[in-house]
């Protein structure tokens, strides 16, 4: 059954979904390298005028990514121990410091041409705040510095992007049901700000957990519509 963007959706399954103009695709659980290769493929096609922009959503196995400003001291666990635990470490071209991605976190990769980096980040932040409220957690807000979606003094979603000729690579990590222990290996983004997940915030309100797929089913169509306002034509 086809559903419109404003209707409650069933949990998303791996496979393509279409918004009003921007195509979106929930990949399910995808390795970081495979998702990054898919982003590059879409961006190269967009830059060559041979493909359409796309919004890619997924969840990763445990991985630590190091941005261009990453300080080695912000990885708190040795490389050997991380390898034993099955945690990848990947150096990437996005801005920012060290961050973690893994199960329970919705990755949001809008591979689109944009008119303004700040307008783009703010627009995604506004949508994630609205989705959080839809799931019973009001009060989240985008902040420019430090950039991200904040619930009080706790970070609910982090962002970091790379631009090539105005087309975005990388994006946002939304903590849906990220275990607290996941952060013990790093100092996130070089700071001490506590992380919070949507499910933790829901639990404080007496609400049951939700899945990454259920949140993706709301985020995908909402962003597919909202991002049109910040896309370069």
The secondary structure of 130-178 as a DSSP string is HHHHHTT----EEETTTTEEEETTEEEEEEEEEEETTEEEEEEEEESS-
- 51: three-class secondary structure by DSSP: coil
List Cα–Cα distances, 24 to 67, 92, 111, 151, in angstroms: 25, 23, 10, 27
Pairing of strands 63-66, 88-91: parallel
Question: Which pair of tokens denotes residue 141?
Answer: 């807000």
Q: Is 189 labeled as catalytic in the residue annotation? A: yes
Question: Which pair of tokens denotes residue 225?
Answer: 């519509």
* Continuous H helices in the chain: 32-47, 79-85, 117-134, 198-204, 212-226
Active-site entry in 58, 159, 189, 199: 189
Residue among 36, 16, 12 at smallest CA distance from 109: 36
Which residues is 58 bridged to in the sheet? Answer: 107
Which residues is 88 bridged to in the sheet? Answer: 63
Residue among 89, 49, 86, 52 at smallest CA distance from 67: 89
Catalytic positions, please? 189
């Amino acid at each position: 059954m086809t559903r419109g963007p404003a209707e409650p959706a069933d949990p998303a399954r791996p496979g393509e979904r279409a918004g009003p103009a921007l195509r979106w695709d929930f990949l399910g659980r995808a390795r970081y390298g495979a998702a990054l290769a898919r982003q590059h493929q879409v961006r190269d096609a967009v830059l060559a005028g041979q493909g359409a922009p796309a919004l890619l959503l997924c969840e990763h196995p445990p991985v630590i990514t190091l941005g261009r400003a990453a300080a080695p001291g912000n990885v708190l666990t040795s490389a050997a121990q991380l390898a034993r635990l099955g945690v990848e470490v990947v150096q990437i071209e996005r801005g920012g410091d060290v961050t973690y991605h893994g199960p329970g976190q919705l990755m949001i990769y809008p591979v689109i041409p944009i008119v303004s980096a700040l307008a783009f980040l703010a627009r995604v932040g506004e949508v994630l705040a609205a989705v959080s409220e839809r799931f019973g957690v009001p009060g989240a807000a985008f902040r420019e510095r430090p950039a991200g979606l904040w619930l009080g003094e706790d970070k609910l979603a982090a962002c970091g992007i790379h631009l090539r000729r105005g087309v975005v690579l990388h994006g946002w990590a939304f903590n849906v049901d990220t275990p607290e222990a996941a952060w013990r290996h790093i100092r996130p983004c070089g700071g001490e700000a506590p992380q919070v997940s949507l499910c933790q915030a829901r639990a404080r309100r007496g609400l049951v957990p939700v899945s990454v797929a259920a949140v993706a089913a709301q985020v995908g169509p909402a962003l597919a519509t909202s991002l049109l306002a910040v896309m370069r034509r």
